[in-house]
Structure 1
Amino acid sequence: MKIDNILVTGRIYKTVEPLIRTRLNKQLRFLAEEEVKPQDFDWADAYVSFRPTGNFSFGGLKWVHSFGAGVDSFLHNRSWKKDVLLTRTVCSFGQKISEYCLSYMLRETQKHGVYQALQEQRQWNPVEPVSLSSQRVVIYGTGEIGQEVARTLAFFGAKPIGISLSGTTKPHFAEVLPASGAAGSLNSADWVISTLPLTTETEGMFNAAWFKKLQGACFMNVGRGATVDEKALLEALDHGFVRQAVLDVFAEEPLPEESALWQHPKVQITPHISAITGPEEAVQCFLDTLHLVEQGLMPPNRVSTEKGY
């Protein structure tokens, strides 16, 4: 595939411009989203961004590359043109998300909050920490990110169970189950971590009926916000099905000020930072993918537009 004209936009377009211009001899346009005009899509062979602009059209595009790991903004409620290749950024997201999840798990199992309270009260009370090896962890999503989270936890002796639509065996999981057969693992889980992308199958998956299968697990969402019914989650927290929620993604971002999640005592909120795309990594993945595309090779970060990931 010959790629001559490349349109780059999105929140880091100014940062990546010098990184790309010094490494690539192509016709390039770097524009803010609001500056992109319909004729830019007619001109471009490739579109590179985190999401489509409000006036996005396929025009003359042959290839779309996402600066992020997720592509739901491109595919959700959109009919994808079959002859347009869609790829995504694959870099150290798995490591970053693993560190994020691990930090919250250790905060609880090593009793950081307990010891902080005891210190403030000047009390010497040796409350025993809990080993991660004793924790039952269920991970929804067994792709690159889910596998890396599983690998990290397995290093500490945990035996994570993976949940996917197919139940296909994947590395680093003690077992992988299909979503339809997950109930038995959920009612004994200490931690449930979602790394799921947003697709027609996963939208609203974590609903009231699903939360009722839990018996006091901590629910962590580092996948996509719209996979969760937030009202059902709040009710599950109030009724004890979920003991704590750690949320990095939300159905609406930024999370509205009026959301009840902000003030709930059992909710930890972070503003979609568990795996921020670094400019250097984003550019390197884009350039590596471009090289494969122009060689006529299928890049490993190609997205199945039918599956949504």
Structure 2
Amino acid sequence: MKSLNIYHDFNLDLKLYSIPKKFIDSFQENKRKINFINIDDKTINKQDIEVFFGNRIKDDDIKSYKNIKWIHLGCVGYDALSIDYISRNNIILTNSKGLMTNSMIEQILNYITTFSRGTHRINNLRQSGKLTRQNFDFYYDYIENINTKKVLICGYGEVGKRLSEILNYLDMEVSLLSRTDKKDFKSFTLNNIDKAVENIDFIINLLPLSNETENIFNSQVFSKMTNAYFINVGRGKTVVEKDLIKAIEIGNLLGAALDVFEDEPLELDNPLFNYKNIILTPHIAGLDSNYWTNQLDLFSHNLNKYLASNLSEMKNKIT
């Protein structure tokens, strides 16, 4: 039986972006020999690529892989890909939806409670050598419980749905912003974003990147916010960063927590670093130590269904 080569782009020197040996070894007992090949291998013939597994594939890559049949994304987002082209050419596209949901929610909860309990202010006092209750008393009026606070969840996919349930359980007043009206909570569509952000305490951005959402958080929208906290774990290019900074400076925003950015990685001279009330994390909201264990379960299931031609039983199918 002919072996199957799986081409991947997990070739960075980071635990999340390099396939563990135990992951590869787990496929060696398969009846059909499975080989994992780095897509950067210069000896690769692009016409041999049937299965691709990774995060950084582009439309031009797909078009050059004339015999590709299945793409599995190690992430959730696929907004950079032409779904029409993939579908027209009968290419299977699956993603890793569900693997990062809990991690992202916990990260968002961490941001919310960091702001509400003043943890970021405490850290600033510590770093300046002024960590006393007397100095912290200056921030007394900013320390509040989150129950009864108003939160706007922008994007109502799997993470947004679960997050809305949790925040509602914590007695926060939940409203939603999405492409279509939702019945579960008070809901706004994207063209009503100016109205949606008014009088909101926490704005949580989970929106994917599209023509509709690119730069959607701009000066006009930030001007409608009052004493709000802005959290972005969606897509960096949905936010105009210079407008966010201006909103911080004039006080429309009390603080911001950003896990994604217009350009990544952040350059060290990026002005975002200059603000103590802006929390920065390096695109790790979906990260946890069980990623590869969970990825193995998902990819193994889909690979077995693919090899058996049971394509309808593959999980997380987009096309």
CA–CA separation in structure 2 for the residues paired with 1:301 and 1:69: 10
Letter in 2 for 1:286: F
Match of 1:282 among 277, 289, 295: 295
Partner of 2:172: 158
Task: Give 1:151 deviation, angstroms.
Answer: 2.1
CA–CA separation in structure 2 for the residues paired with 1:97 and 1:47: 25
Match of 2:106 among 94, 99, 107: 99
Partner of 1:148: 162
Contact residue 151 and residue 172 of structure 2 kept, 8 A: yes
CA–CA separation in structure 2 for the residues paired with 1:113 and 1:89: 32
Tell me the TM-score normalised to structure 2 length: 0.81
Structure 2: state its 5+ residue gaps.
Answer: 12-16
Partner of 1:188: 199
Q: Deviations over 1:15-43 (max 9, x none)?
A: 1643542464444342334226551x322
CA–CA separation in structure 1 for the residues paired with 2:155 and 2:303: 27
Q: Which has the higher helix share?
A: 2
Q: Deviations over 1:112-150 (max 9, x none)?
A: 456775993344969585332211000111000111221
After TM superposition, the structure 1 = structure 2 runs for residues 209-288 of structure 1, keeping only pairs within 5 Å, are 209-276=220-287, 278-288=291-301
After TM superposition, the structure 1 = structure 2 runs for residues 1-309 of structure 1, keeping only pairs within 5 Å, are 4-11=4-11, 12-15=17-20, 17-22=23-28, 24-35=30-41, 39=45, 41-52=46-57, 57-75=64-82, 80=86, 82=88, 83-112=90-119, 120-123=131-134, 127=140, 129-169=143-183, 173-276=184-287, 278-293=291-306, 294-297=309-312, 299=314, 301-303=316-318
Partner of 1:307: none
Task: Give 1:102 deviation, angstroms.
Answer: 0.8
The secondary structure found in structure 2 opposite 1:262 is helix
Q: Aligned residues: percent identity?
A: 23
Task: Give 1:185 deviation, angstroms.
Answer: 3.0
Partner of 2:14: none
Contact residue 98 and residue 152 of structure 1 kept, 8 A: no
Q: Bigger shift: 187-196 or 43-52?
A: 43-52
Letter in 2 for 1:87: T
Contact residue 13 and residue 31 of structure 1 kept, 8 A: no
Contact residue 4 and residue 35 of structure 2 kept, 8 A: no
Structure 1: state its 5+ residue gaps.
Answer: 305-309
Length, aligned pairs only: 297
Task: Give 1:13 deviation, angstroms.
Answer: 4.3
CA–CA separation in structure 1 for the residues paired with 2:168 and 2:25: 37
Letter in 2 for 1:290: L
Contact residue 49 and residue 65 of structure 2 kept, 8 A: no
Tell me the TM-score normalised to structure 1 length: 0.83
Task: Evaluate the alpha carbon distance shift between residue 13 and residue 234 of structure 1 in structure 2; reply closer, same or farther with a 3 A threshold.
Answer: same
Task: Give 1:249 deviation, angstroms.
Answer: 0.6
Contact residue 6 and residue 37 of structure 2 kept, 8 A: no
Task: Evaluate the alpha carbon distance shift between residue 74 and residue 30 of structure 1 in structure 2; reply closer, same or farther with a 3 A threshold.
Answer: farther
Task: Evaluate the alpha carbon distance shift between residue 109 and residue 264 of structure 1 in structure 2; reply closer, same or farther with a 3 A threshold.
Answer: closer
Task: Evaluate the alpha carbon distance shift between residue 162 and residue 121 of structure 1 in structure 2; reply closer, same or farther with a 3 A threshold.
Answer: same
Q: Bigger shift: 92-101 or 102-111?
A: 102-111
The secondary structure found in structure 1 opposite 2:256 is strand
CA–CA separation in structure 2 for the residues paired with 1:96 and 1:114: 24
Task: Give 1:279 deviation, angstroms.
Answer: 1.1
Contact residue 177 and residue 196 of structure 2 kept, 8 A: no
CA–CA separation in structure 1 for the residues paired with 2:109 and 2:314: 31
The secondary structure found in structure 2 opposite 1:257 is coil
CA–CA separation in structure 2 for the residues paired with 1:151 and 1:215: 25
The secondary structure found in structure 1 opposite 2:276 is coil
Q: Deviations over 1:225-253 (max 9, x none)?
A: 11111111111211222221100011211
Task: Give 1:175 deviation, angstroms.
Answer: 2.6
CA–CA separation in structure 1 for the residues paired with 2:66 and 2:34: 16
CA–CA separation in structure 1 for the residues paired with 2:56 and 2:112: 31
CA–CA separation in structure 2 for the residues paired with 1:79 and 1:147: 29
Contact residue 159 and residue 174 of structure 1 kept, 8 A: no
Letter in 1 for 2:52: Y
